[in-house]
Amino acid sequence: MKLLASTGRVVAALLLFALFSTQAYAQATRTWVSGVGDDANPCSRTAPCKTFAGAISKTAASGVISVLDPGGFGAVTITKSITIETDGQLAGVLSAGTNGVIVNAGVNDNVVLRGLSIDGAGTGLNGIRYIAGKSLTVERCVINGVTQKGIDFSPTGASTLTVVESDIHGAANAVNGGAISVTPAVGGSANAIVEKSRLTRNLFGVKAAAPSKVTVRDTMIGNNDLFGVQATGNGAVMFVDNSVLTNNPGAAVGAVSSGQITLSRTAIFGNGTGLTAIGGQIFTFGDNRNAGNTTPGAPTAAPTATQ
């Protein structure tokens, strides 16, 4: 009986150790992926995983997934605070037929995507589809070849979006395309910043739907099939500063259905229409360049005085 009891205690201890080991194994604060990795690995630097999806299941909330060497790391769904980053290595997300990255996280969760190359290969859906969370930061990313939005930011709650030094091109589907769409779902709201980015050859550049506040700064928006920037709906407010809107066959700047756009230090050249307001308002500080458009258009109010 004593032997049985002792054996039982040993087995119980081993099971408890295995449980804690598994939990620790699953809660690494930093994990790694490699083009020659394996998702059966623990995702450590010396034994990296193969895909972002494999690594995220072994990374603790608020942890970091880093890229060791060039590779394609697959589409991923994010449900917690996480940073996925690369420092100079090619970090490909080939997303043919699906969304590249889906963010459906908790109300306090922050997600950072840094240095990713998301390629829909002509059949992918959205490059990034955002459903829920506290914030999304997209830094130094390239999104190309999707049939819907480059970034579809449609939060169900209050969320923020920051896009910095990123290129989005080729999201030109005539029905669902567009570079950056900030369109909160019912019950949601959004604050967004787009800075030092290039949005070209899409259906449109940046769209803000109510309720949202969007700032576009130091950004090139050109050669899109429909419009450059648009604010639509009562509660959609956009500020465009020190940017270039060029070669958009529709309107470079459009304020629709009580949407509001304010312009400062922005060049508007070679578009079908420079400024157009259809039930919305366009304000300016009087320091823009509106020239070379088929129809120049005009602000809906006298220039706002600078302070």
Token duo for residue 207:
């769209």
Instruction: Quote the percentage of the chain above a pLDDT of 90.
Output: 88
DSSP letter at 249 equals: S
pLDDT at 288: 97
Token duo for residue 87:
């420092």
Domains present along the chain, CATH in parentheses:
1-61 (no CATH), 62-291 (2.160.20.10)
pLDDT at 19: 46
- In the predicted model, what is the mean pLDDT of residues 54-73? 97
pLDDT at 26: 52
SS (H, E, C) 159-212: EEEEEECCEEECCCCCCCCEEEEECCCCCCEEEEEEECCEEECCCEEEEEECCE
Instruction: Give the tens place of pLDDT for each residue, 147-170.
Output: 999 999 999 999 999 999 999 999
Asked whether residue 85 carries a pLDDT value surpassing 70, the answer given is yes
Asked whether residue 22 carries a pLDDT value surpassing 60, the answer given is no
Asked whether residue 88 carries a pLDDT value surpassing 90, the answer given is no
In angstroms, the CA 168 to CA 178 distance is 9
In angstroms, the CA 111 to CA 82 distance is 5
**Whole-number mean pLDDT of the chain?**
93
Asked whether residue 24 carries a pLDDT value surpassing 60, the answer given is no
Of 238, 231, 242, residue with least CA distance to 215: 238
- In the predicted model, what is the mean pLDDT of residues 187-200? 99
pLDDT at 10: 47
Q: How confident is the model at residue 7 (pLDDT cuts 50, 70, 90)?
A: low
In angstroms, the CA 262 to CA 283 distance is 4
Task: Say which residue the tokens 């623990």 belong to.
Answer: 42
The residue with greater pLDDT, 220 or 301, is 220
Asked whether residue 173 carries a pLDDT value surpassing 60, the answer given is yes
Instruction: Give the tens place of pLDDT for each residue, 224-249.
Output: 999 999 999 999 999 999 999 999 99
pLDDT at 89: 84
pLDDT at 304: 85
Asked whether residue 275 carries a pLDDT value surpassing 90, the answer given is yes
In angstroms, the CA 171 to CA 129 distance is 14
Residue 160: partners with Cβ closer than 8 Å, 6 or more residues away:
134, 135, 136, 190, 191, 192
pLDDT at 4: 44
Q: How confident is the model at residue 14 (pLDDT cuts 50, 70, 90)?
A: very low
Output Rg (C-alpha) for the chain, integer angstroms: 23
Instruction: Give the tens place of pLDDT for each residue, 115-130.
Output: 999 999 999 999 999 9
Q: How many CB atoms lie within 10 A of CB 13?
A: 10
- In the predicted model, what is the mean pLDDT of residues 280-297? 97
pLDDT at 9: 56
Residue 6: partners with Cβ closer than 8 Å, 6 or more residues away:
none
CA dihedral sign, ordered 24, 27, 28, 34: positive
pLDDT at 1: 46
Q: How confident is the model at residue 303 (pLDDT cuts 50, 70, 90)?
A: confident
Q: How far is CA 235 from the centre of its chain?
A: 22
Asked whether residue 196 carries a pLDDT value surpassing 70, the answer given is yes
Asked whether residue 73 carries a pLDDT value surpassing 90, the answer given is yes
Identify any residues that bridge with 215 across adjacent strands, giving them in sequence order.
193, 239
